[in-house]
Structure 1
Amino acid sequence: MYGYRKVSDDLRELGEQCGINRVHRLMRSAGIGSQTGYAKRKYKRGGAPSLVAPNHLQRQFDVAEPNCIWVTDITYIRTHEGWLYLAVVLDLFSRQVVGWSISSRIDRELA
């Protein structure tokens, strides 16, 4: 949700005549406000990282022909509804996306 400054700017762009203080007062009286942050969870760090698969590339990313080596990565995206996880498969030769999947959970269906 926008704050009163951005709402005021948007109203001015639409041709409405209202001051920033009035927008602030009306939004406050209606209980409307901007989202200022997210709740942060505490979690434990530590321990040795688990090895899921051996590293066959050994950081040799130069490939001579297409579709020989595909690489993948999973990243997470914060949204207002929660976290989304994006898995992408790239062809290392052309750096083109071969496939992708998005899910609200990290599970076998995502990978």
Structure 2
Amino acid sequence: MGKKTQRCRVRARYIKKSNQHFLQERSMKYRFIKNHERQFPIEKMCSILKISSRGYYKWKKRSFSKKALKKNKLKQKIKTLYFEFKQRYGSPRITAELQALGYRISRVTVAKYMKELGLKSKLSKKFKVTTNSKHNYLIAENVLDRDFKATRISQKWVSDITYIQTKDGFLYLTTIIDLYDRKLIGWSLINTMSADDTSLAAFRMAIKNRPIEKGLIFYSDQGVQYLQRNSPIFS
């Protein structure tokens, strides 16, 4: 190898190292300016550090884009995990799943991103009891006996009460369905659990929409709302 070739290679390595050092030094200056933007004028800092303000703004825009892209990818991963676990995982479990996959992220950050995405664990909702079986009313025999087939209208009606959680509290939905055509013939939606507002209200609507036939079987659970005998409907 000739001396001239050797000198060229040494010079090339020196230039490469110098460029790397220069880039690192410039990046440090950029970060310093970014961290002190609220304290000092940007143009003044660029002048003192001998870098162009145009170059700084380009670096800042590029840095912001990379950060935003990283955040969007992470939010998409959180969304994927949320639906993968059937919307049952909150921020602690989602954080654990991400950390197991190698992500370095805190629960606080995950909770923040989930809030921005509008994701909330379904298990955070408290269970609401709608059936009160502790009563002294006479319990009717189970005539239906799980035979949910009907051959004519108003042969078999079934009813139930469920709850819907809203931001203002619970609402109670009572439904009555005719098993012949699976049609909803009576319903009530109210924020109380009284028999008059739930089962009786739905029953009144049902008999307006469909006449009662002889031998009608009315099936429900053993909740107190269906067993009060002081109503003209059940008397």
- TM class, shorter-chain normalised? 0.5 to 0.7
**CA distance in 2: counterparts of 1:79 and 1:97, whole angstroms:** 23
Cα drift, residue 54 of structure 1: 2.8
CA separation of 1:39 and 1:94: change in aligned 2, threshold 3 A: closer
Report the structure number with the largest CA radius of gyration: 2
Partner of 1:89: 176
The 5-angstrom pairing of residues 6-85 of structure 1 reads 40=126, 50=134, 52-85=139-172
CA separation of 1:81 and 1:64: change in aligned 2, threshold 3 A: same
Structure 1 runs not aligned, ≥5 long: 1-18, 22-32, 42-48
Higher relative contact order (CA 8 A, sep 6+): 1
Partner of 2:77: none
CA separation of 1:106 and 1:92: change in aligned 2, threshold 3 A: same
Give TM-score, length-normalised by structure 2.
0.28
**CA distance in 2: counterparts of 1:85 and 1:63, whole angstroms:** 27
**CA distance in 2: counterparts of 1:103 and 1:72, whole angstroms:** 16
**CA distance in 2: counterparts of 1:107 and 1:100, whole angstroms:** 14
CA separation of 1:71 and 1:39: change in aligned 2, threshold 3 A: closer
Partner of 1:110: 198
Structure 2 runs not aligned, ≥5 long: 1-67, 72-115, 128-132, 200-235
**CA distance in 2: counterparts of 1:40 and 1:62, whole angstroms:** 35
Question: What is the DSSP-based 3-state SS (H/G/I as helix, E as strand, rest coil) of the residue aligned with 1:59?
Answer: coil
CA separation of 1:40 and 1:66: change in aligned 2, threshold 3 A: closer
CA separation of 1:52 and 1:85: change in aligned 2, threshold 3 A: farther
Percent identity over the alignment? 34
**CA distance in 2: counterparts of 1:64 and 1:92, whole angstroms:** 9
Give TM-score, length-normalised by structure 1.
0.54
Count residues in correspondence: 78
Cα drift, residue 53 of structure 1: 3.7
4+ long deviations beyond 4 Å? 33-41, 49-52
Partner of 1:100: 187
CA deviation profile, 1:45-80 (whole Å, cap 9, x unmatched): xxxx55844311000111111111111011101110
